[in-house]
Amino acid sequence: MRDQAILPPTVPSLATVHEMPEGFDIDAMINRFRERAKAVKDRPLPPLEGTARREYVQRAQIDYQDFAMLGDAEGSLEDGILVLRVDLRPPEARDQA
């Protein structure tokens, strides 16, 4: 959603890809998510107290989970559609597949 107070009308929405970039590398994108997950995990806790600290920790946990999940994905490009497959089964169930 575009916030007109922040983004002028000439700035394209960041939520929409209008054209596929040349040389798009799915594996590199997935690696960037792995790097982001590691950065969130290694990020020092800022000097916060009480509710702000709890909210920061909760947000970091969610960020880590999201980035790590995408970092574990197997990616492909199928008919111009980026497909990310993430196996959410427990490790023991994955071994049986």
Supply the pLDDT for residue 48. 94
Report the predicted TM-score, pTM, of the whole model to 2 decimal places: 0.72
Domain of residue 43 covers 24-75
- Please check whether residue 18 lies inside any domain of the structure: no
- Please check whether residue 2 lies inside any domain of the structure: no
pLDDT along the chain (97 residues), means of 10: 55 64 88 97 93 95 96 93 92 78
Supply the pLDDT for residue 5. 57
- Please check whether residue 93 lies inside any domain of the structure: no
Supply the pLDDT for residue 97. 61
The total of structural domains in the chain comes to: 1
Residue by residue, DSSP assigns 38-97 as HHHHHPPPPS--HHHHHHHHHHHHHHHHHHHHHHT-EEEEETTEEEEE---S-HHHHHH-
